[in-house]
Amino acid sequence: MPVQDIGRLDGLTYPTGVAYMAGQFMPISEARISVLDWGILHSDATYDTVHVWKGKFFRLDLHIARFRRSLARLRLNVPFSDDELSHILVECVKRSGLRDAYVEMLCTRGISPTFSRDPRDAINQFVAFAVPFGSVANARQLKEGLHLHLIDDVRRIPPESVDPQIKNYHWLDLVTALFKGYDAGAENVIVKCTDGSVAEGPGFNVFIVCDGALHTPDHGVLHGITRQTVFDLADAAGLRAHTGKISESQLRNADEVFITSTAGGIMPVARLNDTMIGDGTPGPVTRALFEAYWARHDDPAWSLAVDYGDEVG
Ligand code: PLP
């Protein structure tokens, strides 16, 4: 029997899924972190998210490598080799039975047994889980393109304060922006850097297409694995891809705009505030990259099949 469930706990309903923590696999509803964990009290944690599509992990090696870099920069320690990490994640998915999954590995600073204020006293805590795949864009938005709002008065946390290459839970700027975007009638938001150039959104990178070439910000954003995948796909297709600052007017006047995330892949943008992007429908470059992206999920060089055994159908 897989350990998956649709758990109910303290009146809350949980998604189906399986977690691993403290040496054990368990239904996601049973995976809990102490309120005294530095991860909760100070956002002192890092994480990475990979997805499984039709029973295959996509670019798991790149996600584990980025997780390692984030851990090292925060001086966090996870007592597993890459193979062991990979095994734990595969096992979460296998036990959940999920064919399309959102799979997260995270490490918090943990609890200091004496509640001391010295982070070196804390015992780092590793957690992994697999839950159903979730996307930034729903099916209609993927087909027709998203309506985004470019936020002016909440700026992305600058890299001098929090290194965006450490994948982190410092999301108050992004969540505050998201509420402002909803208030403005949009479906999601793009946030600017402190210098006014385009940064990123809640869990995604931003690309523009101008005269057939791709452009995406380099500074002050997470270097997403999907962003890297777009570079790889562009290279294979002979498309030029540039990294560097993007101004608000370049964004508004782009031929095409799309966003990228493990949670959804390559997602077209049709409208920014009151401006239509291109003709207001997903453009040809975005559509071609979208097709190539999902086709590559079957490429053994970029994917890892989960062996579900006989446990689930
Ligand atoms: N930017 C931020 C702030 C993110 O949190 C994420 C993913 O969660 C991304 C960009 C996209 O990164 P990836 O393509 O690796 O999912």
pLDDT band at 12 (very low <50, low <70, confident <90, very high): low
Which DSSP helix (H) or strand (E) runs through 51?
strand 45-53
Q: Which of 106, 175, 204 to mutate to test ligand 1, by most ligand atoms within 8 A of the CB atom?
A: 204
pLDDT in tens, 97-143: 999 999 999 999 999 999 899 999 999 999 999 999 999 999 999 99
pLDDT at 13 over 80: no
Atom of ligand 1 nearest to the CA of 167: 5
Distance 42 CA to ligand 1 centre (A): 21
Residue nearest to atom 13 of ligand 1 (CA): 224
In terms of domains, do 154 and 83 share one? no
Which residue has its alpha carbon closest to ligand 1 atom 4?
A: 203
**Which of 12-16, 38-42, 134-138, 147-151 is the least confident region?**
12-16
Band (pLDDT 50/70/90 cuts) for residue 313 is very low
User: Residue 80 maps to which CATH number?
Assistant: 3.30.470.10
| Ramachandran angles phi, psi of 183, nearest 5° | -60, -30
C-alpha 130: how far from chain center: 14
Within 6 A (CB) of ligand 1 lie 49, 200, 203-205, 222, 224-227, 260-262
Q: Which atom of ligand 1 is nearest to the CA of 171?
A: 3
Q: For residue 226, which atom of ligand 1 is closest to its CA?
A: 14
**Interval between CA 214 and ligand 1 midpoint (Å):** 18
Q: Which residue has the higher pLDDT, 290 or 309?
A: 290
Here the tokens at position 220 are 């002050």
The Å distance, Cα 226 to ligand 1 centre, comes to 8
Q: Cα(262) to centroid of ligand 1, in Å?
A: 7
Strand partners, 241: 214
> In the 8-state DSSP scheme, what is residue 142?
H
Q: Probe ligand 1: pick from 52, 198, 219, 222, max atoms within 8 Å of CB?
A: 222
Domain boundary residue, one of 87, 117, 132: 132
**Domain check: are 119 and 157 in the same one?**
no
Nearest Cα to Cα of residue 199 among 160, 260, 247 = 247
In which domain, by residue range, is 120 found?
A: 18-132
CATH of the domain at 222: 3.20.10.10
Question: Which pLDDT score is estimated for 66?
Answer: 98
Ligand 1 atom with least separation from CA of 63: 15
- Give the pLDDT confidence of 247-256 residue by residue, as tens digits: 999 999 999 9
Q: Whose CA is nearest to atom 12 of ligand 1?
A: 224
SS3 state of residue 62: helix
Q: How far is the CA of 1 from the centre of ligand 1 (A)?
A: 34
Q: How far is the CA of 263 from the centre of ligand 1 (A)?
A: 8
Q: Residue 79 domain-assigned?
A: yes
Compute the distance from residue 26 Cα to the ligand 1 centre, in Å.
27
Residues 99, 218, single domain; the answer is: no
Structurally, the chain folds into a number of domains equal to 2
pLDDT for 5: 47
* Sequence-separated contacts (24+) of 193-198 with Cβ below 8 Å: 193/155, 193/156, 193/158, 193/217, 193/219, 193/220, 194/155, 194/156, 194/158, 194/220, 195/245, 196/247, 196/248, 197/245, 197/246, 197/247, 198/150, 198/245, 198/246, 198/247, 198/248, 198/250, 198/251
How far is residue 265's CA from residue 86's CA, in Å, rounded to a whole number?
Answer: 21
CB 124 within 8 A of CB 78: yes
State the Cα–Cα distance between residues 287 and 48, nearest whole angstrom.
27
Residues 6+ apart with CB under 8 A from 182: none
Task: Please say which residue of 117, 132, 147 terminates a domain.
Answer: 132
36 domain-assigned = yes
Average pLDDT taken over every residue of the chain? 95
At residue 2, does pLDDT exceed 50?
Answer: no
Q: To which H or E segment does residue 14 belong? A: none
Domain identity same for 227 and 267: yes
Distance (Å, whole) CA 111 – CA 35: 9
Same domain for 79 and 205 = no
Does the reported pTM lie above 0.85? yes
Residue 12 resides in a domain? no
Secondary element (H or E) of residue 92: helix 82-96
Q: Which of 205, 289, 302 should be mutated for ligand 1, with most atoms under 8 A from CB? A: 205
Residue 109, phi then psi, degrees to nearest 5: -60, -30
pLDDT above 90 as % of the chain: 93
